[in-house]
Amino acid sequence: MMKQTQLGQAHTVSMAGVLLLVLLVLMPASATAIGHVCGSGGNYTANSTYQSNLAVLNATLPGNASSSPQLFVTATADANTNGTAGMVRGLALCRHDTTNLTACRECVASSFAYAHKMCPNHTAASVYYDYDETNALKPGCLLGFSGDRGFLSTASGTTGNGTFFQYFNTVNIAGNAGVVAAAVRQLLAQTARYAAAAARRFATGFMDGGTTTTLYALAQCTPDLSAGDCVACLQRLVGSINATNSVRLGGRIFRLRCNVRFEAFMFFDDKNMRRIPSPSSMAQPPAPAPAPDME
């Protein structure tokens, strides 16, 4: 039996989808896996209850995430109704600037395939999928599953390091390192605040005066987080950026429940993108008042 929670709504899903496991594993990836984290909870055995439950999530989460108004779903699968030893918890979230539900479904399905490839037989894995610059406007997604009973708790997903991943461009932004670092942090911190204040827990922004190039940023939390939990999660990610990475020409940082990204190119499709002032422009003194007309 599988119990699915989608922003407070409970559903029951049949195990008839188990046979789709092989098809999903063989499905070609439609995106680029930016990173993965294999859990430390050990391995499951072939033909075990855990494997059957994971197959249920594998077959159903892609469609459930893409059909959700929030592009988000959490679920538990338990084929053994007499206990929880084989129970699997899962979470999937697609980027909120997409209206392409097929792309969302394919991204989550490909994430499962990638998890099976990179973390074979692991009871827990997190996968972060996104697209390259050529296909930047397609939606990325994240996927996580685990047998840990606290895996879906907001505390675990916002503060734990078991799902933490970061990736940065190897090229630096030209200019004074101190000025650049301050601009990047300001861009991410303000975008994070906008995301936490939004009902969908998603926001984008750009800064065109703080560095030698215009920078674009995105921040997102799972929509079931409170505003306070969302901003705290995002602030931890921004605070984890060290001096070296704060001047990179793009970067992405993830936890299961929140993520941030910045790039020197437009990688999202959001009409609500905000212009975020740079620290240098905010520190400039006001223009002097014009001299009085003496005539």
Binning the chain into helix, strand and coil, the percentages to the nearest 5 are 35, 25, 40
In the prediction, which pLDDT does 140 show? 87
Is 64 a residue whose pLDDT tops 50? yes
pLDDT one-digit tens code per residue, 137-152: 677 899 999 999 899 9
Q: Are residues 124 and 197 in the same domain?
A: no
pLDDT tier, 241 (very low <50, low <70, confident <90, very high otherwise): very high
Q: Is residue 113 part of a domain?
A: yes
Q: Is residue 141 part of a domain?
A: yes
Q: Is the pTM of this model over 0.75?
A: yes
Q: DSSP state, 105?
A: H
Q: Three-state SS for 93?
A: strand
Closest alpha carbon to 19 in 75, 65, 58: 58
> Average per-residue pLDDT in the chain?
83
Q: Are residues 129 and 193 in the same domain?
A: no
Q: Are residues 75 and 181 in the same domain?
A: no
CATH number, domain of 94, equals 3.30.430.20
In the prediction, which pLDDT does 19 show? 31
Q: Are residues 142 and 209 in the same domain?
A: no
Segments forming the whole domain that contains residue 242: 168-282
Q: Are residues 205 and 271 in the same domain?
A: yes
Which of the listed ranges 42-46, 135-139, 188-192 does the model predict with the highest average pLDDT?
188-192
Q: Is residue 100 part of a domain?
A: yes
- Listed in order, strand segments (DSSP E) in 131-276 are 141-146, 165-168, 202-207, 215-221, 251-255, 258-263, 274-275
* Pure H helices in 119-202: 154-159, 177-197
Looking from the CA of 292 toward its CB, the CA atoms found within 13 Å total: 1
Stretch 98-116: mean pLDDT:
90
Stretch 153-181: mean pLDDT:
92
pLDDT tier, 135 (very low <50, low <70, confident <90, very high otherwise): low
- Say how many domains are in the chain: 2
Q: Are residues 274 and 183 in the same domain?
A: yes
